[in-house]
Amino acid sequence: MATTTKNVDPEELKEWTVVLPRRGKQRRGSLPKIRALEEQQQKPWVPTDLETDPERESKLMQKMQICIKKLEDSEFYCTFLNQILTPEILTYFSRILGSEIKMQMVVYGIGSIESYEPPRLQLSLAILIKRTLNWIGDIEVFDPVLSAIEVRVLEALGCCVLSVNEQGRREAIKPTMFFMPHCEAVLYDNLLKANWRPELLNRMVLFGNSFERYEHHVVEFKNSVVVDSAKHVLSIRRFTNEVPIKTVSDDLYRAFHDLSWHFFNLEAQVDLQLIAL
Ligand SMILES: C[S@@+](CC[C@H](N)C(=O)[O-])C[C@H]1O[C@@H](n2cnc3c(N)ncnc32)[C@H](O)[C@@H]1O
């Protein structure tokens, strides 16, 4: 695998090492290092639904295990992984990693995993990615709708739930995969705005709604709502390598339709202006 002193060879990323999540590890204290000023401004987040119920928790855990298994055995997941392991995509990931050995994963906007299946399937995908690829580091998750029960299940599955609402504004200080299926455009825009420098954008990959489709909406339908909420999304298009994923099975369509990998490749001196629309 990758060492800390050399660029990673895409071939090395292909090594599939199953890394099991550290179950039940309590890591709520390990907050991400976000800017001091933002930290002062942001209040700690606590779930609105604070109820604890061991039965509900165990039912949800069971549902999650079933979901992970269903996804792992699916044609969709096989196709998804094979796509990641193509030389083209591995080269993109390798460029983001540079000399680092791990890429952390930040999951925003997962939704309620207790109430709906698409969020469960999306979380299962994030967990399987980490279990399968040994160059994926810790998973941090945040969605303001999460309940205390959901937080406990997420932690039992090895995820760290943020205790601050970053509003999607995490800077990619280190290589980071932002896993944001079907989020609102404004969340992608906040993220891009916070990383609006070549060295930060080059250190991240964003898995989420197709930016191409946002652009299409603007061009075809003159959708002014998209223009207003997605200025950075639309402006970064020309520096983006967008790779759509394939939704091969109908029963997984709702969870994974119209999602793409977005890789950014910018020269250090590039003039990152917002395009006028
Ligand atoms: C359209 S829903 C998508 C939910 C789920 N991913 C799905 O496909 O069904 C967008 C989600 O983003 C969440 N969200 C809103 N603001 C957020 C924030 N500041 N940080 C993280 N998630 C946020 C919402 O609570 C909501 O669950």
The answer as to whether 273 is a domain residue is: no
Question: What is the reported pLDDT for 217?
Answer: 83
Q: Is the pLDDT of residue 11 over 60?
A: no
Look up the CATH number of the domain holding residue 242: 3.40.50
| Inside any domain, residue 224 | yes
Q: Is the pLDDT of residue 29 over 70?
A: no
174: nearest Cα among 12, 23, 24, 34: 34
269 in any annotated domain: no
144 falls within a domain: yes
Q: What is the pLDDT of residue 50?
A: 94
Q: Which secondary-structure segment (H or E) carries 45?
A: none
164 CB under 6 A from ligand 1?
Answer: no
Average pLDDT over residues 234-258: 93
State the DSSP H helix or E strand holding residue 57, giving kind and residue range, or none if neither.
Answer: helix 54-72
Q: Looking at the domain assignment, is residue 62 inside a domain?
A: yes
183, 210, 258, best to mutate for ligand 1 pocket (most atoms within 8 Å of CB): 183
Question: Has residue 32 been placed in a domain?
Answer: no
Helix (H, G, I), strand (E, B) or coil at 150: helix
Residue 69 has pLDDT above 90, yes or no: yes
pLDDT given for residue 248 in this prediction: 83
Q: Which atom of ligand 1 is nearest to the CA of 180?
A: 6
What would the pLDDT profile of 149-169 be if each residue is shown by its tens digit?
999 999 999 999 999 999 999
- Helix extents (H) in 147-206: 148-156, 185-194, 198-201
Phi, psi (rounded to 5 degrees) for 204? -130, 160
197 in a domain, yes or no?
Answer: yes
Does the beta carbon of 208 lie inside 6 Å of ligand 1? Answer: no
Angle at 219 between CA 216 and CA 223, to 5 degrees: 90
Please state, rounded to an integer, the average pLDDT across all residues of the chain. Answer: 87
Q: Is there a domain that residue 230 lies in?
A: yes
Structural domain for 206, as ranges: 51-264
Residue with the smallest CA separation from ligand 1 atom 12 is 109
Q: pLDDT tens, 211-239?
A: 999 988 887 777 676 777 899 999 999 99
Total domains in the chain come to: 1
Burial of 272: CB neighbours in 10 Å, binned 0-12, 13-18, 19+: middle
